[in-house]
Amino acid sequence: MIERIGGIIISAGRHTYRMLSLLSQTCFWIAVGPFKRKFPKPEGVFSQMVFAGVDSLIIAFFVALFTGIVIAMQSAYQLSRFGANIYVAPMVSIGLARELGPVLTSLVVAGRVGAAIAAELGTMKVTEQIEALETMALNPVRFLVVPRFLALVVMLPCLVVFSDIIGIFGGFLVGVFNLHLNPYRYITFSFQFMLWKDVWTGLVKSAVFAMVISMIGCYMGLNTKGGAEGVGKSTTSSVVTSFILIILFDCILTGIFYFAKQ
């Protein structure tokens, strides 16, 4: 039993080291790549941005809308006992901006984009396309990882802002049509209690989550073995690991922001 636990710890440490090494290489090529020839073309990065961001708008829209509606209904159920239905507005806006917007949007993107990255790179790995790049003296990190990393780091915070707005709109629908609150007063209260810190806290979280999703997806894809079955395992591992790390980093960042306030 102890031997098995030790093996799991050693394996986790080895994978963590390799992932951090991949992250350092990615940051290196982001900084140095533009000054060298054969840097990934802008249209390659832009196509990844469209796939990671624009193509995720619909699912992010529905997740944020229904989340805002649910938060408004659940909070109204409690606040109505105290005659404080108007405070549904700040609860929805602050809750989305600080926590639910970044986390839920990141989980959706991890399931959609992270899985696609792992599957795509995994397929290239088992079909020896990555070895072909290396044979032509083309660095796989530079040409495959960097565009996906940049696309997610740029587009996920944009998706979070979009989700926050849609979620607040969902709460607005409940507040106006179900709780019969004044629309102008609802909108005023939504932003009256929101601080700038609430906004950038969510954006910082989303940027960290974007790095997690891109690194996990790329790492799992680049280390795929075993043909089609290996691609499936890598894709599943990418999604599961991303979900766990998103929640873990959310807890860590929330603690940092909480104690920084003290």
Q: What is the mean pLDDT of each run of 10 residues along the chain (262 residues)?
A: 76 83 89 67 79 92 95 86 84 92 94 93 89 81 91 95 95 90 88 86 94 94 86 92 95 87 56
Q: Give pLDDT, residue 261.
A: 59
- What local confidence, expressed as pLDDT, does residue 205 receive? 95
- Which pLDDT does position 249 carry in this prediction? 95
Q: Residue 13's pLDDT is what?
A: 83
pLDDT at position 194: 85
User: What local confidence, expressed as pLDDT, does residue 179 receive?
Assistant: 85
Q: Distance between CA atoms of 246 and 220, rounded to whole angstroms?
A: 16
The C-alpha atoms of residue 52 and residue 97 are separated, in whole angstroms, by 21
Q: From the centroid of its chain, how far is CA 180?
A: 35
Ordered alpha helix ranges (H), the chain: 2-32, 42-52, 57-79, 88-95, 101-109, 115-126, 129-135, 140, 146-177, 183-192, 196-222, 227-261
pTM for this structure?
0.91
The terminus-to-terminus CA distance of the chain in angstroms comes to 42
Q: How many CA atoms within 13 Å lie on the side-chain side of 45?
A: 16
Hunting for tokens 């290996």 — which residue is that?
Answer: 230
